[in-house]
Amino acid sequence: MDRVIELIDASLRTLSGSSRKSISAQEFPEGKKLNEIESRISASLMRVNHTGEVCAQGLYEGQAFVARDTNTRLHLRTAAAEEVEHLNWCRMRLRELSSPESLLAPVFFLASVGVGAITGAMGDEISLGFVEATEDEVRKHIDKHLAQLPEEDERSRAILDKIREDEIRHGTDALESGGVEFPRSVKQFMTLMSKVMTITTQRI
């Protein structure tokens, strides 16, 4: 019952924008004022990153819900707590760009909870390995977005740089905690599936 309550609480906070963590926006540069085209490009990219962070919350919550080992569950909860800050940064930046969040975010969140629970049920080693594979996929997305961001958008760039740094650490920590590294074929399939989220949330 405690896990059910935790999952419901996390779901409501993720989708409503309510969080216990503060938004440390001061650490990011204000950057230069963007024109309309630059703002539109940045907003579409940050919308994808925001939805990606929503998905990360869903995956972690689903995995933690079924985790068998206490240490594994603690690892997932800790990583999820740090990901909340990423979610806040992306949401903050979207508001600054006067852009809405993706309407599909709740759908992707629920799907991610299910995927996380299925993966977690396969065992803690697989679950932690899935964390590493997911974070590696996020890192690839961020690398692409950093190259696509308007040169003037220093603020979005700084946010993505910090998220990228944290995601790499989360992936490394997952393997060091006993996760098994997924084969290349599985990661390629994950890349294919992530493109669905990227293409849809850039526009909706």
Task: Kindly indicate the confidence band of residue 143, based on its pLDDT and cuts at 50, 70 and 90.
Answer: very high
Confidence of residue 160 (pLDDT cuts 50, 70, 90): very high
Q: Would you say residue 26 lies in a domain?
A: no
What tens digit of pLDDT does each residue of 13-58 get? 665 655 544 455 557 777 778 899 999 999 999 998 888 888 888 8
107 within domain boundaries: yes
- Domain residues for 154? 35-201
Q: Is residue 2 part of a domain?
A: no
Domain count, the chain: 1
Sorting pLDDT into bands at 50, 70 and 90, what band is 150? very high
Tell whether 10 is covered by a domain.
Answer: no
Query: The domain spanning residue 68 has which CATH number?
Result: 1.20.1260.10
Residue 19 belongs to some domain of the structure:
no
Residue 159: pLDDT band (50, 70, 90) is very high
**Residue 77, both tokens:** 């909860």
| Residue 48 within any structural domain of the chain | yes
Question: What local confidence, expressed as pLDDT, does residue 52 receive?
Answer: 85
Q: What is the pLDDT of residues 60-118, one digit of tens each?
A: 888 888 877 788 777 777 777 777 888 889 988 999 999 988 888 788 888 888 888 88
In a domain, 146, yes or no: yes
